[in-house]
Chains A and B, each alone.
Chain A
Amino acid sequence: MSENTSDETSTAGGAGETGWYDLFSRGARDWLRHNDKIREAVRRHLPEIIAGADVLSGGTSTVRVPVRMLEHYRFRLRSPGEQQGVGQGHARPGDRIGRPRQEDESRGQGGNEEGTIQYTLEFRIDDIVDWLWEEMKLPNLEAKTGRAKDDDWTREGWDRRGARARLDRRRSLKESIKRRGMQAESGVTSPPFTDDDLRFRQLAKREQPAMQAVVILLLDVSGSMGERERRIAKAFFFWVIQGLRRQYRDLDLVFVAHTSQAWEFQEEEFFHVSGTGGTLASAGLEKVREIIQERYNPSQYNVYLFYASDGENFPSDQIQAQAVLKELARACNYAGFLEVSVLTGEEPDSETGKLFLELADGDGQVGAFRVAGVEDIWKAVRYFFGQQAQTS
């Protein structure tokens, strides 16, 4: 061992000294990158995740997703039907030995076998909603004249004076470059910035055209809607509400549940409501009509109706329901029907579903979609808020 070796050792081992490797961990850095990739992968599977997430039980702001470490793939032989190997110890030919316990691999090559470690990642519901709703919007949203409640400060123009916080660095730098360019021609050396270079953003109060909107969520809680159907409907509403709240600042939400009668609820109650008895779609629709009439004038509001039900309506109610629905469809920017069914397939065929389909002839103001399970919820959201948004 040479002299300088000893020196190096003593500095590396000396108290209070730290090697460069103490400053950061490459393993941790690459692990974070690995997790980023997992998050990306999870993000691509959000619809399945929201289906699995039990968000309705409330209180949680995160969803826990079990994930597995990513494998960096290599060419590998297909797993053999038979295996062989070399072992060591007291064993005679013909002896039978069980499966190995996890062997001590401390001195092995380590190899590239990561094994499978499962762990859970937490996702904030807010983030999930952001990702999911990136391209979603309310269909047929229009500017309505009404209360100009959206008057707001907006950026407008620049000035040489202003609050420090509103200093526009980029623009100030441009000014500085312009000035120095001029001065360089005339041979004057100049400071990088002068007070005259500084530009401040100005704010002006502007009235925005109001985009007031109300979304009415109508839920069938009659006896035919079992536990499973209600869960699907509520999960759908949950993600819709989360998304709409993020997309639109001023949005009224109205919660209505019906059996053969209808009631308006607060949001918290709405998600726990259950009822018994028969279904009268017209009762629910009628209640919605009343609410619109009383509080949400369609000339001032964008009105939306989303109705979730198994669609089983008393045949005697059909005519009545049809009449109300027609009227509602005129008042609403969009009226959507979510048919909660046990059957898959996207065409609704229940009594109520048919009523909606009859009205849904091309003007994109009425739609109906059938879901058979929570895993279809995201398709429904996309149907109502994605597809419609594109066609409008």
Chain B
Amino acid sequence: MNIEEWQIYAARIEQLAADQGLKYHPVEFEIVPENFMTEIAIYGLPVRMPHWSFGARYIYQLIQHRMGLSRLFEVVYPGNPGRAYLAKSNSIAENVLVTAHVLGHADFSANNLLFRRSQAEVGEHIVEQAAAHARRISQAIQDHGIEAVETVLDAALALEQHVDIHQGLRREKYPERMPDRAPPAVDEFSQRYALLGPDTARPRISTGPAKRTPTPPHPEQDLLWFIAQYAPDLEPWERDIFLAVREESFYFYPVFACQIMNEGWASYWHARLLREADFLPQSCYVDAIKCHSDVVRPTAGSEQVALSTNPYHLGFSIWEKIIEQQGLEQARRIMSEDDDFSFVRNHLTLELATELELFRYEGPANGTLVVQDVDLPALHEALLSPKYGFGAPTVSAAHVHLDGRLDLLHDHVADGRGLDPERSRKVLEYIVRVWRRPVTLATVDGNEHGMEITVSPSLQLESG
């Protein structure tokens, strides 16, 4: 690709975007080799902490890539400045499209409330911050050995999705004691009541110091935070790792929770900016449009029916409809205020769903699937349910016993069924090695009967 040519087009596209009212922090573009793109996609961040699980995913992705199943054009990071990485293999036409797409993302992340809140908490330099985490962890590997650091990362990364976005990134520890109880009222009634003699049935209200709060005072869903703060024997460097992973999770959440909106918004803008880019040579324009229709197509290749939806296509179609019917200004308001949950529920109408030929299917896990009757709320739920709770089951820390044993509780009612027992045991094994006391998880089995899984630290670890 001719860099100079692209730079000229990029500058004009930025101009177009500004004219159209896109508001974003400056974006720094970098053209990188494809294997680096693959790494970015796998790690989620250009420089991130080392862990063997990324290696496994990396090879998996490489194999997929070689089989031609996936291709990455760009990755963009919100921030000030934003950072965009473009694949070296992109053609000039693709890069023109991708530049416009990136500006759409930049506009989204600079204005969407969820993104703005996350950047206010995590900071506007996630790429650099993640690199700093990676450096600290490399240092920890030097100081404490790969095995020890891996033990912590095994647990922390396994719980990556188990954070509580609503409580915020920086949280105070629980208060040591319950708030003071109001003193018993001294009114006429209670004075007369007292004349009746000692009240043996009622528990005596202690007037002593307020009670210690149990840990945690309420089921705690932010497991990363909870373990970092309350694990009985966690070393400071281990806590650091937990908090680093947690910070990155806070960064990832809006990306996850706004995927349909965000990709749709970027696709809408790359299409629109491209349409108005009269400065492009005809062939370049045609190639870019071709690329657009490849990215924003409902079904893969020659398939007539797909059993999944393409978030680019879905988001793109919803935004087109909103802008067509309600105007750009209203669309920008929706863009700033919604996340995927409200976006889909409010704006994926029956009319649009029919137009897009969306359908809901059900069937046995390994058998024939049956297309269901049209039911919009059910369709919404089927689209959104994989995204609840950061895409992870609802597990919370319920209680820490006096001897340090930890009880975890799975909310099977909210999730509709119990946890996979084998995997849960493995996760508990990770947790136990940092909690260093027995950990018990309560969930239900396949018949909705309560079951508990307990994992204790191995003797070897205790003696070590």
A residues with CB within 8 A of B: 1-2, 4-6, 8-10, 12-14, 19, 21-22, 25-37, 69-70, 72-100, 102-110, 112, 114-115, 117
Contacts and interface: CB of A to CB of B under 8 A. Distances in A.
B308 A91 contact: no
Contacts of B306: 87-89, 100, 103
The 9 A-B pairs with the shortest beta carbon distances in the complex, nearest first, are: A30-B55, A27-B58, A104-B300, A89-B305, A31-B55, A72-B53, A73-B426, A106-B70, A34-B52
Given A1-B14, A87-B361, A107-B311, A77 B419 contact: yes
A97 B308 CA distance: 13
Contacts, number: 286
22 contacts: A2-B81, A6-B7, A21-B46, A30-B50, A31-B52, A33-B52, A34-B52, A70-B52, A73-B426, A74-B158, A78-B420, A79-B420, A87-B359, A88-B308, A88-B356, A89-B304, A91-B305, A93-B374, A98-B368, A103-B300, A104-B70, A105-B69
Contact of A93 (B35, B46, B371, B416): B371
Given A81-B365, A83-B365, A26 B50 contact: yes
A327 B263 CA distance: 86
Interface residues of B, number: 110
Contact of B55 (A2, A32, A97): A32
A13 B36 CA distance: 14
B88 A27 contact: no
Contacts of A87: 305-309, 358-361, 371
Interface string B192-223: 00000000000000000000000000000000
A4 B36 CA distance: 22
A40 to B, nearest CB: 10
Nearest to B393: A75
B418 interface: yes
A84 B382 contact: yes
A87 to B, nearest CB: 4
A117 B57 CA distance: 10
Interface in B327-380: 356-366, 368-374, 379
Contacts of B7: 1, 6, 9-10
Contacts of A89: 298-299, 303-306, 357, 359
A8 B418 contact: no
Given A75-B395, A91-B305, A13 B31 contact: yes
Contact of A1 (B27, B263, B415): B27
B357 A75 contact: no
Given A34-B56, A93-B359, A106-B71, A9 B35 contact: no
Nearest to B311: A107
Interface string B31-62: 11101101101110011101111111111111
A90 B354 CA distance: 10
B423 A73 contact: yes
Given A29-B50, A98-B368, A78 B417 contact: yes
Contacts of B160: 74
B30 A9 contact: yes
A117 B59 contact: yes
Nearest to B48: A26
A5 B418 contact: no
B420 A1 contact: no
Most chain B beta-carbon contacts within 10 A, residue among A4, A87, A96, A117: A87
Contacts of A19: 30, 32-33, 36
A75 B419 contact: yes
B28 interface: yes
Contacts of B416: 77
A5 B26 contact: yes
B38 A27 contact: yes
Contacts of B424: 75-76
B145 interface: no
Contacts of A70: 52-53, 56
A107 B313 CA distance: 10
B361 A85 contact: yes
Contact of A103 (B52, B307, B358): B307
Interface of B: 1, 3-4, 7, 10-11, 14, 26-33, 35-36, 38-39, 41-43, 46-48, 50-64, 69-71, 81, 88, 146, 154, 157-162, 256, 259, 263, 295, 298-301, 303-313, 356-366, 368-374, 379, 382-383, 392-393, 395, 410, 415-421, 423-424, 426-427, 430, 446
B423 A75 contact: yes
Contact of B423 (A4, A74, A109): A74
B275 to A, nearest CB: 21
A76 B417 CA distance: 10
B365 A82 contact: yes
Contact of B371 (A73, A92, A102): A92
B452 to A, nearest CB: 15
A75 B392 contact: yes
Nearest to B374: A93
B28 A88 contact: no
Contact of B420 (A77, A84, A88): A77
A8 B361 contact: no
Contacts of A100: 306-308
Contacts of B48: 26
Contacts of A76: 393, 419-420, 423-424
Contact of A27 (B55, B159, B259, B395): B55
A35 B256 CA distance: 30
Nearest to B263: A107
Contacts of B41: 110
A73 to B, nearest CB: 4
A80 to B, nearest CB: 6
A72 B446 contact: no
A387 B160 CA distance: 46
A72 B154 contact: yes
Contacts of B420: 75-79
A84 B361 contact: yes
Given A30-B54, A84-B360, 9 more contacts: A9-B29, A9-B30, A28-B55, A33-B50, A33-B51, A74-B160, A88-B309, A95-B371, A103-B306
Given A72-B158, A93-B371, A94-B371, A78 B419 contact: yes
B56 to A, nearest CB: 5
Contacts of B423: 73-76
A36 B383 CA distance: 39
Contacts of B28: 2, 4-5, 8
Nearest to A29: B50
A90 B303 CA distance: 10
Contacts of B361: 84-87, 91, 97
B39 A26 contact: yes
A94 B361 CA distance: 9
Most chain B beta-carbon contacts within 10 A, residue among A12, A21, A27: A27
A31 B59 contact: yes
A96 B370 contact: yes
